A = this chain, B = another copy of it.
Amino acid sequence: MPYRPTERTEARKAATRNAIVAAALAQVAAGGYASAGVQVVARRAGVAVGTVYRHFPSKGELFAEVFRRAAEPELDVVIEVSAADGPPAAERIAAAVEAFCRRALAAPVLAYAQIAEPVDPAVESERLRLRVGYRDAFARVLDDGVAAGELRPHDTRTVAAALVGALGEALVGPLSARRKGSKEALVATLVQFCQEALPHARARVHA
């Protein structure tokens, strides 16, 4: 048996695969998913179109991975920040919201692509996963807050989803066209919004 894949060739293969994903990600960050066709990505990665298909079964799978690669570190940061054991729930939410917003505003095109751009079904399902991830991260904090008596018992999943949606929607406009207000003011507004939206134990239900 004259040929065996070896460590070196494996590494080479992985490097190529990686170059493809990186090129695709760069393209998405530059011009969104709409601009990222297979031919464009291949050219950008310095490989032939066929090579892309040697590493990924389809365009959808490639971009699902691209989405994941862009999304995971973001989610990880939010999970990390929100998981802090000690501060009250409201503060943990505030920290998570702030981290989320700052990072999104630092890479507007990419953030828009990840949050709001129309994408094909394979990527859309990854996006759904991501949203669930954020929702669950927030919900965990809310559950902790309820357990600690800081928050009234409530439907934490729904409230967490609402927080996620609030951030996405409030950021999407500014992500594409910077609005008049400063970035700092926007972040402050959203942090405060999300904190006040929580069903604080001491808060009265209005009306």
Those of A116-146 within 8 Å (CB) of chain B:
118-121, 124, 131
Query: Please, how many angstroms separate the alpha-carbon atoms of A189 and B152 in the complex?
Result: 12
Is A173 part of the binding interface, using a Cβ–Cβ cutoff of 8 Å?
yes
Select one of B88, B119, B155, B161 contacting A185, CB under 8 A.
B155
Number of copies of this kind of chain in the complex:
2
Interface of chain A, main secondary structure:
helix
Given that A170-B161, A206-B90, A207-B88 are known contacts, is A196 also in contact with B196, CB under 8 Å in the complex?
yes
Is A178 part of the binding interface, using a Cβ–Cβ cutoff of 8 Å?
no
Contact A91 B207 (CB under 8 A): yes
Contact B189 A196 (CB under 8 A): no
**Interface size classification for chain A:** 35 or more
- In the bound complex, residues from chain B placing their C-beta under 8 Å from that of A193 are 158-159, 162, 197, 199
Select one of B155, B185, B189, B205 contacting A159, CB under 8 A.
B189
- In the bound complex, residues from chain B placing their C-beta under 8 Å from that of A205 are 192, 195-196
Query: Please, how many angstroms separate the alpha-carbon atoms of A157 and B118 in the complex?
Result: 24
Query: Please, how many angstroms separate the alpha-carbon atoms of A131 and B152 in the complex?
Result: 31
Query: Please, how many angstroms separate the alpha-carbon atoms of A57 and B147 in the complex?
Result: 59
Contact A94 B181 (CB under 8 A): no
Given that A196-B196, A196-B203, A207-B88 are known contacts, is A169 also in contact with B165, CB under 8 Å in the complex?
yes
Shortest Cβ gap from A109 to chain B (Å): 16
Is A190 part of the binding interface, using a Cβ–Cβ cutoff of 8 Å?
yes
Is A99 part of the binding interface, using a Cβ–Cβ cutoff of 8 Å?
no
* 12 pairs, CB–CB < 8 Å, chain A vs chain B: A90-B207, A91-B207, A118-B118, A155-B189, A158-B193, A162-B170, A166-B197, A192-B199, A192-B205, A196-B197, A196-B203, A196-B206
